[in-house]
Amino acid sequence: MDEEQIEFFTSDEKEAILKMWEKNPMRQLKIAKVVVHMGVGASGEKLEKAMTVLESLTNQKPVKLLAKKTIRDFGIRKREPITAKVTLRGEKAIDFLRRALTVVENKIKFSSIDELGNFAFGIKEHIELPDTAYDPNLGIFGLDICVNVEHKGYSISRRRKYKRKVPKKHRTNKLETMIFLNTQLGVEIVKEYVVSYY
C-alpha cells in the first residue's frame, strides 16, 4: 500500500474489514447502481445529441430531466428538459464503471466519497472513455458519474411489500467503501487529482 492510501486507512483496518466480510457475507459491499449524467443546460438539438452520445456509451436509452426553476440569465425555463441521465445496474454498471475509472487513472478523491459510502467523479470529455470514437456531428460532452454502494440485503428499504428501514449498523460507511474500491476494483484513494497537461 502506498503512502497516499495509508493516510486514509491502515492495514489493520483493512484486515479487520476483510475478515468481517468473510465471516458475514451479508456485510459485503456491492455496486447497487451507477448513474451517468450529462448536464447540457439547453433543450433542443444539443440535448438530443447528448442523449445519442449517452445511449452509445451505455447501450441503454437515457431519460430527460427537467429544470426545477427558471433562470433568466441562462435562458432556462422551469420544467424545460435540459439534461439527461442513464441508470445502470448489475454487470452493465460494473463494466461501465471500470471503463470510466481508467479515464481518471483508477483514482478517486477522498472528498468524493460521502459518509454513507457513495461516491462520484466527473469526466471532462466523453471521448476519453476507452473504445469511444469522436463524431464531429455530435460534438463532445462531459459526464458526471454517481455510484451507489450498499450492503447485501439493502433492498428491503425499496421493496413494495414488507418494506423495512435499514438499521444504522447495516448502513455503508466511508471506510468500507474505500477498502472495497481498493481491493475489488484496484482504485487508489488520493487527496487531489494530479492534472497532466499534454
3-190 in CATH: which number? 3.30.1440.10
**Amino acid (1-letter code) at residue 33:** K
Q: Are 13 and 175 in contact (CB under 8 A)?
A: yes
Helix %, strand %, coil % for the chain, to 5?
40, 25, 40
Q: Which three cell numbers stand for residue 186?
A: 484496484
Phi, psi of 31 (to 5 degrees): -80, 110
- Residue 47, burial from CB neighbour count under 10 angstroms (0-12, 13-18, 19+): buried
In 3D, which of 147, 167, 150, 118 has the Cα closest to residue 29?
A: 150
Rounded Cα distance, 126 and 167, in Å? 39
pLDDT reading at 155 higher than 80: no
Give 26-57 pLDDT, tens digit per residue. 899 999 999 999 988 888 899 999 999 999 99
Give 55-77 pLDDT, tens digit per residue. 999 999 999 998 888 888 888 88
The C-alpha cell 433562470 sits at 71
- Residue 159, burial from CB neighbour count under 10 angstroms (0-12, 13-18, 19+): exposed
In 3D, which of 187, 188, 175 has the Cα closest to residue 14?
A: 175
pTM reported for the whole predicted model: 0.86
- Sorted by where each begins, the domain ranges of the chain are 3-190
Q: Which three cell numbers stand for residue 38?
A: 450529462
**Amino acid (1-letter code) at residue 112:** S
DSSP secondary-structure letter at 187?
P
Give 86-125 pLDDT, tens digit per residue. 999 999 999 999 999 999 999 999 999 999 999 999 999 9
> For residue 161, how many other CB atoms are within 10 A of its CB?
4
Phi, psi of 136 (to 5 degrees): -60, -20
